[in-house]
Amino acid sequence: MRKLLYLLLILGGFTLCHSQNKASDFMKSLGSGLYSIPNKINGKLILPTYENYRSKNDSIFLEKILFQDKKENFFLLIANIMGGKTSLILVLRNISSPEIVYAEQIARIDTLEKSLLKDYTFFMFNSNHTDMCSETEGLIIYVFNNLKLYKSFEGFRKEEYYNTNDPLCKTGKSYTQSFALSLNNNEVMLIANKKSEGEKSETKKYYFKNYEFK
């Protein structure tokens, strides 16, 4: 009887460990809006060059989950990495036996917008940067389709130069630019409207081909 009970405990422990390796379970809450995920899945590092606050690369610590989607056959995660400078984009295939499809550490995402057009999911990431010379607001658009993620566009919503007297600062004409995704005659488009001080607004259309706006 004792041997049977011991065997059941072993099998139960194995089942628990196996279930904890699922992609849907591997993100652990640390409280106060912080999370951790293992940096290695099936022997492969998610971010090979990443080091956490312990100067190790065994776990990735996240301070804000911007978006996550869990299905039986994939897991999509977009989150800010603890430290304030970068963000993680991660796509895993097969929840029961996770496989890394896409993983990238990019500049910190300040805001995120999601749009659904046709069979595509578009993510528009905004990131702000301010220094002694200028203020910029960058835009990156990713598209998710058939378990694959593609970077389809990079640009700026804003570039403002306010320290033009300093020779170390880059000079240029300040402008703001708005972007909108649309569907026209079943064709996905990105429309950019640029406004510079003292000039007429300029509209430019980008057409979505081969997962890029051109």
User: Is 2 a residue whose pLDDT tops 60?
Assistant: no
- Band of residue 3 on the pLDDT scale cut at 50, 70, 90: very low
- Please state the domain count of the chain: 2
Average pLDDT over residues 41-54: 90
> pLDDT: is 170 or 45 the higher one?
45
Residues 94 and 135 in one domain: no
Cα–Cα distance measured from residue 16 to residue 55, given in angstroms and rounded to the nearest whole number: 30
Cβ neighbourhood burial of 149 (10 Å; 0-12, 13-18, 19+) = buried
| Averaged confidence pLDDT in the chain | 87
User: Is 199 a residue whose pLDDT tops 50?
Assistant: yes
pLDDT, residue 188, reads: 97
pLDDT, residue 53, reads: 82
- Band of residue 212 on the pLDDT scale cut at 50, 70, 90: very high
Cα–Cα distance measured from residue 53 to residue 150, given in angstroms and rounded to the nearest whole number: 30
* The residue to which tokens 């993620």 are assigned: 149
Cα–Cα distance measured from residue 179 to residue 107, given in angstroms and rounded to the nearest whole number: 20
> How many C-beta atoms lie closer than 10 Å to residue 165's C-beta?
7
Question: What's the pLDDT tens digit per position in 30-44?
Answer: 998 899 999 999 889
- Band of residue 26 on the pLDDT scale cut at 50, 70, 90: confident
Cα–Cα distance measured from residue 214 to residue 208, given in angstroms and rounded to the nearest whole number: 7
pLDDT, residue 25, reads: 65
Residues 114 and 213 in one domain: yes
Residues 115 and 193 in one domain: yes
Cα–Cα distance measured from residue 106 to residue 88, given in angstroms and rounded to the nearest whole number: 7
Average pLDDT over residues 139-160: 96
Decide which of 109, 138, 164 is a domain's last residue: 109
Provide the residue range defining the domain that includes 71. 22-109
Cα–Cα distance measured from residue 93 to residue 180, given in angstroms and rounded to the nearest whole number: 30
Query: What percent of the chain has pLDDT above 70?
Result: 88
User: Is 9 a residue whose pLDDT tops 60?
Assistant: no
Residues 87 and 57 in one domain: yes
Residues 41 and 92 in one domain: yes
Decide which of 60, 92, 109 is a domain's last residue: 109
| 210 contact partners, CB below 8 Å, separation of at least 6 | none
